[in-house]
Amino acid sequence: MLYLTLLICFLAAMLLTPIIKKLAFKIGATDRPNQRKVHQKIMPRLGGLAIFISFLIGITIIKPNANFPLPLGIDIDVNNLHLSIVIGSLIIILTGVFDDIKEISPKVKLLGQIIASFIVVGMGGLRVEFVNLPFGGELDFGYLSIPMTMLWIIGITNAINLIDGLDGLAAGVSSIALFTIGAMAMVMGNPYVGVMAFIVAVSTLGFLLFNFHPAKIFMGDTGALFLGFIIAVLSLLGFKNVTFISLVIPVIILGVPISDTLFAIIRRFVNKQPLSAPDKSHLHHCLIKIGYSHQQSVLLIYAMSAVFGLAAFIFSQATLWGSLIILLAIIITVEVIVEKIGLIREDYKPLLKFIKGLKPVNLRNKL
């Protein structure tokens, strides 16, 4: 039944996307080219609506809250959680639809995200209350558990939105993240999260057929916000444990959007720009700037996302010291890539300059 449902979701997204494309032109949900954007002609947005409808079809057929329970270690009512995810997703979709049509202000868009995240946290009961630290001790978040969980959901939601700058980029990266979350959730005995992740992933792939370069339709904020929201919720729920290691896993899985967002913040701070100021220095922009084509840049970022996913799986199976070594290797690798492509600034290369300054010891002279 699961495989049949996933096939239906894929086909539904594939069949719905051309219909949504016509609807987007009819209601004026289009994206006009400007100096910051890569496309050169008016493009229909709203493609995320096809992904969302396919998602609703999938959860209606298979009813994951009834047929795929949460593990015993997670003390959350799955029916309340499931309903809160659906309601929160609907609010996010409405926020995205209004933005794709009218381009609402960032404050209104943020308000929609706050309401959606609060529903999942308040009504659904999803929150991280404390963490056992690696070398002993416990970090209790107390009253901060609710705002911190909401901050995670809002942060990841916007991170996916920020990487939606090239044809097929956000859809492909999201699909890789969702398949990784789903597979790891299944291995860790969390079928509810696994099934939900797979349903959204195949729905996104059905849309990606029309969104890969050269794109015929964009997912718009409707799709980017929905994918970010659902990934944030499922990643937190899939690895909702009380250990520090379990909380790092979703961060690694979402390494590409999180890194791009983090360095965008650093870049704007270094260049003394407002955090909300748009620019053309995100990861995909930098790859094109150094000579990669549109399609090559997207495929390269897909590969990075897949590597992060593999690293997350290895990380989850490693010992404590092994996990720390993997984490250090990831941080160094990310920093080298950032400096190589000029993600913060072209002259920002502290690590590369340090490595270049290390001269090999001449043993012959020493002797």
Per-residue pLDDT of the chain (367 residues; tens, 9 = 90+): 899 999 999 999 999 999 999 999 999 998 877 555 555 678 899 999 999 999 999 999 999 999 998 886 777 899 999 999 999 999 999 999 999 998 898 899 999 999 999 999 999 999 887 776 766 677 778 888 899 999 999 999 998 988 887 889 999 999 999 999 999 999 888 999 999 999 999 999 999 999 998 899 999 999 999 999 999 999 888 776 656 666 788 888 888 888 888 888 888 787 777 766 666 777 887 888 888 888 888 999 999 999 999 998 888 888 878 888 888 998 898 888 888 887 777 777 888 888 777 756 554 554 4
**Parallel, antiparallel, or unpaired: how do β-strands 43-44 and 30-31 relate?**
antiparallel
Chain CA centroid to CA 158, Å: 8
Cα separation, 207 vs 218, whole angstroms? 9
Radius of gyration of the chain, Cα coordinates, nearest whole angstrom: 21
Cα separation, 64 vs 213, whole angstroms? 33
**Parallel, antiparallel, or unpaired: how do β-strands 30-31 and 138-140 relate?**
unpaired
Q: Nearest to residue 151, comparing CAs of 125, 123, 109, 113? A: 113
Collapsing DSSP to helix, strand or coil, 139 comes out as strand
Burial of 26 (0-12, 13-18, 19+ CB in 10 A): exposed
Is 221 labelled as part of a ligand binding site? yes
Is 347 labelled as part of a ligand binding site? no
Distance linking the first and last C-alpha atoms of the chain: 73
Cα separation, 40 vs 126, whole angstroms? 42
What is the value of pTM for the model shown?
Answer: 0.88
Can you list the alpha helix ranges (DSSP code H) found in 239-293? 244-253, 255-270, 283-289
